[in-house]
Amino acid sequence: MSILIEGRSFEFLLLILASAFLAYYIYSARRGYRPQIRKMAPLEAIPEAIGRSVETGRPVLFSVGTSTLYSGGAPQTLAGLSVLGYTANIAVELDVKIAIPLLHPEVIPVADEIIRQAYITAGKVDEYDPVYSVRHYGKHTFSWTSGILGHLQREKPGAFIYMGSMLADSVMVAESGHRAGAMMIFGTASSGQMPFIVAAADYSLIGEELYAAGAYLSQDPVLLGSITGQDLTKALILALILLGTIFMTFGIDFLNNLFSM
């Protein structure tokens, strides 16, 4: 007699395994283990994009996407905020203004703190202008999108870095960014928008790469450990898929029965 609900036993086992991998590697990373994450071209391009802004005397536009800090898209927002920290540090060091228009007011204090910290680190706290840097273009997706479209046309940033959850705004802001002459580095795990950013942006991070980017740039041990645990979980799933395909091809029901336990 099983205490688990019928049909959910294998799911439970998989969840426990995935959680165990994650917890193990998070705690390992906190004790000093530093997994190697491969370099990603879009992240390498961020200093180049900011340098371009310096040369042309134009500001940088950054966006952390359309999600909040507690919804399903929160991991993407958090990854975007990690990239914001990295970008803001470089921009402030090179005396380039950076603006971040936000869709959700609850993200405002977090973004404000990140950029303020960059100015403090560079010893330029008096130059920080929160009204310029942290903007709110309304809570509706399309009001925010039209705000960004206007921003792109008015201020013509040299670099447009958009890392986070995306909705239907991605292709619109990408095309406007291209017309404004901005170098565009986009990243999202929003499945529906990946094709658009791959087509329209100069550099793109899709899916897992966005989460890895946040870990890579922040070097936060928790995020680094998470990435390693996630990769191990995905390897396990991949192994199950391959084995399942082989077994089913030869008519062996073992894994099929295991999955529906």
Partner 1 sequence: MALEKLSDIDRRYIYLLLLVLLAYPVLFPIGLPIQITHEARTIYDDIEAIPEGSLVVMQMDYSAGHAAELGPQSRAIIQHMFMKRLKIIMPCFEPEGPAQTVITMDGMDTFDAVYGEDWVQLPYMVGGESAVAAFASNWPSIVTTDHFGNPLEDMPIMKLYNDANDVVYWFAMGGGSPAGGGSYGPAITQVVARYGTPLGVGALAWGAPLVYPYYESGTIAGLLIGQRGAAEYELLINKPMSAVASTDSISISHLYVVLLIALGNVGYFSRKFRGERK
Partner 2 sequence: MTYYQKQLPLLITGILIVTLIFTYFVDIPGSSLYTDELTAWAALVGAFAIALIGPFNLIRYHAGIISKREPDKWLLSVYTIAITIITYAVGVFISPIGASTTLQDMYNTLLVPCSATIYSLTGFFIASAAYRTFQFRNMETSIMLLAGVLIMMKNAAVGGVIWPGFPIIGDWIMKIPNTGGFRGIMLATTVGLIAYGVRLILGFEKVHAGGT
Alpha helices in 184-220, H assignment, sequence order? 194-200, 208-218
Neighbours of 143 (CB within 10 A): 11
Binding flag, residue 167, partner 1 (CB under 8 A) = yes
Q: Which does 165 bind (CB under 5 to 8 A by kind): partner 1, partner 2, none?
A: partner 1
Query: What mask of x and - would describe binding to partner 2 in positions 100 to 139, judged by CB under 8 A?
Result: -----xx-x-x--x-----------------x----x-xx
Q: How far is the CB of 126 from partner 1 (least distance, A)?
A: 40
Separation between Cα atoms, residue 187 and residue 206, nearest integer Å: 6
Q: How far is the CB of 118 from partner 1 (least distance, A)?
A: 29
Neighbours of 92 (CB within 10 A): 25
Kindly tell me which of 50 and 184 has the beta carbon lying closer to partner 2: 184
Signed CA dihedral, 85, 91, 94, 99: sign only: negative
Q: Do residues 172 and 162 lie in contact, with contact meaning Cβ atoms separated by under 8 Å?
A: no
Residue indicated by tokens 């404004």:
180
Q: How far is the CB of 113 from partner 1 (least distance, A)?
A: 26
Separation between Cα atoms, residue 203 and residue 165, nearest integer Å: 16
Binding flag, residue 218, partner 2 (CB under 8 A) = no
Q: What size, in residues, is the chain? A: 261
Separation between Cα atoms, residue 244 and residue 85, nearest integer Å: 43
Among 2, 36, 191, 249, binds partner 1 (CB under 8 A): 191
Binding flag, residue 123, partner 1 (CB under 8 A) = no
Query: What mask of x and - would describe binding to partner 2 in positions 33 to 52, judged by CB under 8 A?
Result: --------------------
Neighbours of 1 (CB within 10 A): 2
- Using N-to-C axis directions, what is the helix angle for 9-30 and 221-249, rounded to 10°? 150
Binding flag, residue 12, partner 1 (CB under 8 A) = no
**Which segment (101-109, 118-126, 183-191, 208-216) binds partner 1 by CB under 8 A?**
183-191
Strands 183-188 and 203-206: parallel
Footprint of partner 2 on this chain (CB under 8 A)?
Answer: 3-5, 8-9, 11-12, 15, 18-19, 22-23, 26, 69-70, 72, 74-75, 78, 105-106, 108, 110, 113, 131, 136, 138-140, 142-143, 145-146, 168, 171-172, 174-176, 178, 189, 191, 194-196, 198-200, 206-208, 211, 222, 226, 229-230, 233-234, 237
